[in-house]
A and B are shown apart, each in its own frame.
With several copies, the nearest count.
Chain A
Amino acid sequence: MGYLTTSPIDLPELVARVQSPVRGGIASFLGTVRNHHGGRAVARLEYSAYGPMVEAECARIVAEAQSRWKVAVVLEHRIGVLQIGDTAVAVVAASPHRDEAFVACRYVIEEVKRRVPIWKREVYADGSVEWVGAAAGGAAAQQGGEQQVTADFGEATS
């Protein structure tokens, strides 16, 4: 437990958790809230999650990264109401080798986006509200996304 938070993400605190005298290379990624989406001005975002599965899936992703590369990884995703510029997700990967730190960091953020059940509702400047990715185009994209996720999982678990 501990991949989800409702508090602001503290990057130096996350770095401190993985840094060590033998892991000299530290790659990190922050995803922050943008002020536009599909051409509309976003006022704030509301993130929600399937909490227990977020924890389980994040633990699997971190374990995968740490078994494939010589890295220590921390990952945190914030939910609740976020303002423009707030950090929604942070990944930090520390390794003796910077190549592995970069590759692992990238792997973790890509898998988080692909596999972790978190949703966001955009509140626009005009007061209207919309689930991100839930429009007609989103449903079509979803179908492809579903096949990719389950195909990969079928391999990983069979």
Chain B
Amino acid sequence: MPASAAPPLTVRVLLFASYADTLGLDSVELSLEQPATVGHALERLRALPGGDRLPPKPLCALNLTHVRPDAPLSGGDELAVLPPLAGG
């Protein structure tokens, strides 16, 4: 199977504010089978303790830019899962 022939990729996931409290983590490294999307990383987060309390479609940013859950991940990406914004 060509898809699993590629080595797993590693992304750094950042959690903030209420989500950091929920998971008890500010950041975590995830190793994902290729090809991987933001949605796949979110599935892995949900398996962590407290991860079931994340909303169905949290706001996400990849390398400092807002993205949809179907955005593809590359090795070394920084994925941020953002609670409801409250600036301003």
Measured CB to CB, the nearest residue on chain B to A147 is: B57
Q: Kindly identify, within residues 41 to 88 of chain B, every residue whose CB is under 8 Å from any CB belonging to chain A.
A: 55-61, 64-68, 80, 82-88
- Beta-carbon contact of B16 and A52 below 8 Å: no
Question: Is B14's CB within 8 Å of the partner chain A?
Answer: yes
Size band of the B side of the interface?
Answer: 20 to 34
- Kindly supply a per-residue 1/0 record for chain A positions 55-87, scoring 1 wherever the CB is within 8 Å of any chain B CB and 0 otherwise: 011000000000000000000010000000000
A104 at the interface (CB under 8 A from B): no
Listed stretches A5-13, A15-23, A106-114; interface member: A106-114
Chain A's closest residue to B54 (CB) is A139
- CB-CB under 8 A from B16, the residues of chain A are 48, 50, 117, 119
B57 touches which one: A115, A116, A119, A146 (CB < 8 A)?
A: A146
A53-B80, A139-B55, A146-B57 known; A77+B65 contact, CB < 8 A: no
B55–A154 contact, CB under 8 A?
no
Asked if B85 and A145 sit within 8 Å, CB to CB, the answer is yes
Q: Which B residues are within 8 Å of any A CB, using their own CB?
A: 14, 16-18, 21, 55-61, 64-68, 80, 82-88
* A-B contacts besides A48-B17, A119-B85, A153-B68, 20 pairs, CB < 8 Å: A31-B88, A48-B16, A50-B61, A50-B82, A53-B61, A53-B64, A53-B65, A53-B80, A77-B87, A89-B88, A114-B85, A117-B61, A118-B87, A119-B84, A121-B17, A131-B86, A142-B55, A149-B66, A150-B67, A153-B65
